[in-house]
C-alpha cells in the first residue's frame, strides 16, 4: 500500500483529528510555522565553481537570499533563482563576473517566494525568458502571505512574471547542455520545480531541500509533509550518489544525502500514524522528538515537526 495514501491515513486513526481541531490543539499558525523569515539584504555574494567549462561552467552564488546557480551562454547567462530584490544588483554583478555576460538570457524560478524572484523585474524588463511552474506565475500576479515571511508579498509587475510555464515538466538546450525541470507537487509550496543539469551531474533541488537544517513547509500555500516525502522520493530517482545537489539555501549536498533524507522523512510520516491514534496535537508530536537522532546534524526539529504535523491535520481533517 502506498505509504502516502489518503485511505491508509483514514484507516490509521483519522477519528481523532476532528476532535483535535475542535479542541483547538492545532494552535496559532505563528507558533507552529518554521522560523525562516525573509533574509536581510546587503550580504556579500560568494561564488563557488561547480563544474569546469567543458561541463557547462556552472557556478553557485550564495548571499543574495537563496542559493543561485548560473551558467554562461552565447546569448547571455542562465540563472536559477534570483535572490531578494534588495540584493539583485549585487547578484547580477556577480553573475556577470562568473559568466562573462552582463545579460541574463533565461531565468528559472524554482518557486515564487521573495528569495527566488527578487531579480525577476530587472531581468524580465530586458525581455529575457522567465520559466516557472504555472502555479508560481499565478502567485507572482497576486498578493500572498506565507509562513516564511511576515506580511504579504506581491503582486509582481507584469514584466517580472514568468513568460514560459509548465504544469508538469519541461526541458531546454542551453550552451550545449541538456537541462530538465520538473514539478514537485505540494512540497515546499504548490509550485515547486527542480532543475537537473544532466551532463554536469548537478541538481538544483528548489524549496523542498535545505542544506544543513530542516526544510520549511509553507502550509499557507500547499506545502505539507506528504508532498515533501513525495518530492524526496522523486528526487532520489533522479540523482546519482555523487550528484552535486544545490538546496534552496545552505550547504551543498550529494545525491546520497537525498536518498538518506528520503528515508528519514518516510519514517517520520509513518510515525505520524502512531501519534494520530494517540490523539496528539502538534506540540505533543514535537515533544515526542521523533527526529532526535538527527538533531545533532540538522538542529532542533521541534518547529519542523509541529509544522509538519499541522500540515497533515490540515490535509485530512474532514470539513
In this structure, what C-alpha cell is assigned to residue 241? Answer: 550518489
| Residue 178, pLDDT above cutoff 80 | yes
The reply to whether 116 falls in a domain is yes
| Position 21 in a domain | no
pLDDT of 94 strictly over 80: yes
Residue 117 lies in a domain: yes
Residue with cell 546557480: 69
Q: Would 52 be classed as within a structural domain?
A: yes
Q: How many alpha carbons lie under 13 Å from residue 63 in its C-beta half-sphere? A: 15
Alpha-helix runs per DSSP H in 181-281: 225-238, 255-277
Q: Would you place residue 315 in the very low, low, confident or very high pLDDT band (cuts 50, 70, 90)?
A: confident
**CATH number of the domain that residue 164 is part of:** 3.60.15.10
Residue 199 covered by a domain: yes
pLDDT per residue as tens digits for the range 72-82: 999 999 999 99
Query: Whose CA is closest to 117, among 150, 144, 151?
Result: 144
Q: Is the pLDDT of residue 138 over 90?
A: yes
Q: Is the pLDDT of residue 184 over 60?
A: yes
Q: Per the domain annotation, does 280 fall within a domain?
A: no
Question: What range does the domain containing 93 cover?
Answer: 39-267
User: What CA–CA distance (Å, rounded) separates 273 from 68?
Assistant: 37
| Residue 317 banded pLDDT, cuts 50, 70, 90 | low
Query: In this predicted model, what pLDDT tens digit does every residue of 266-314 receive, in sequence order?
Result: 999 999 989 989 999 999 999 999 999 999 999 999 999 999 999 999 8
Cell of 71: 551558467
Distance separating alpha carbons of residues 284 and 278, to the nearest angstrom: 10
254 close to 50: Cβ distance less than 8 angstroms: no
Tell me: the pLDDT tens digits for 144-153?
A: 999 999 999 9
Distance of CA 164 to the CA centre of its chain: 20
This prediction's pTM:
0.89
- Does residue 203 contact residue 244 with C-beta atoms inside 8 Å? yes
Question: pLDDT at position 42, please?
Answer: 62
Domains identified in the chain, total number? 1
Q: Is residue 114 part of a domain?
A: yes
159 φ, ψ (degrees, to nearest 5): -70, -15
* 25 found inside a domain: no
Amino acid at each position: 500500500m502506498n505509504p502516502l495514501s489518503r485511505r491508509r491515513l483514514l484507516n490509521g486513526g483519522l477519528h481523532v483529528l476532528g476532535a483535535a481541531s475542535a479542541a483547538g490543539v492545532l494552535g496559532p499558525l505563528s507558533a507552529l510555522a518554521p522560523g525562516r523569515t525573509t533574509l536581510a539584504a546587503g550580504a556579500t555574494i560568494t561564488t563557488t565553481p561547480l563544474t569546469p567549462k567543458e561541463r557547462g561552467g556552472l557556478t553557485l552564488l550564495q548571499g543574495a537570499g537563496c542559493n543561485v546557480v548560473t551558467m554562461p551562454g552565447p546569448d547571455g547567462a542562465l540563472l536559477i533563482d534570483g535572490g531578494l530584490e534588495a540584493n539583485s544588483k549585487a547578484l547580477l554583478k556577480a553573475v556577470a563576473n562568473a559568466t562573462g555576460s552582463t545579460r541574463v538570457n533565461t531565468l528559472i524560478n524554482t518557486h515564487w517566494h521573495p528569495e527566488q524572484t527578487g531579480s525577476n523585474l530587472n531581468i524580465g524588463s530586458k525581455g529575457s525568458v522567465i520559466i516557472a511552474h504555472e502555479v508560481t506565475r499565478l502567485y507572482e500576479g497576486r498578493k500572498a502571505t506565507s509562513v516564511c515571511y511576515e506580511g504579504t508579498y506581491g503582486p509582481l509587475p507584469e514584466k517580472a512574471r514568468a513568460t514560459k510555464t509548465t504544469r508538469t515538466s519541461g526541458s531546454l538546450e542551453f550552451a550545449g547542455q541538456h537541462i530538465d525541470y520538473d514539478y514537485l507537487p505540494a512540497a515546499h509550496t504548490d509550485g515547486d520545480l527542480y532543475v537537473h543539469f544532466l551532463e554536469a551531474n548537478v541538481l538544483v533541488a528548489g524549496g523542498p531541500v535545505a542544506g544543513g537544517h530542516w526544510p520549511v513547509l509553507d502550509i499557507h500555500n500547499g506545502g505539507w509533509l506528504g508532498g515533501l516525502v513525495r518530492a524526496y522520493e522523486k528526487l532520489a530517482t533522479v540523482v546519482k550518489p555523487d550528484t552535486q545537489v544545490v538546496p534552496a539555501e545552505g550547504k551543498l549536498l550529494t545525491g546520497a544525502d537525498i536518498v538518506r533524507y528520503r528515508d528519514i522523512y518516510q519514517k517520520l510520516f509513518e510515525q505520524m500514524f502512531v501519534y494520530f491514534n494517540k490523539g496528539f496535537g502538534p506540540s505533543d508530536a514535537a515533544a515526542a522528538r521523533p527526529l532526535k537522532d538527527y538533531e545533532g546534524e540538522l538542529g532542533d526539529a521541534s518547529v519542523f515537526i509541529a509544522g509538519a504535523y499541522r500540515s497533515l491535520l490540515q490535509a485530512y481533517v474532514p470539513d
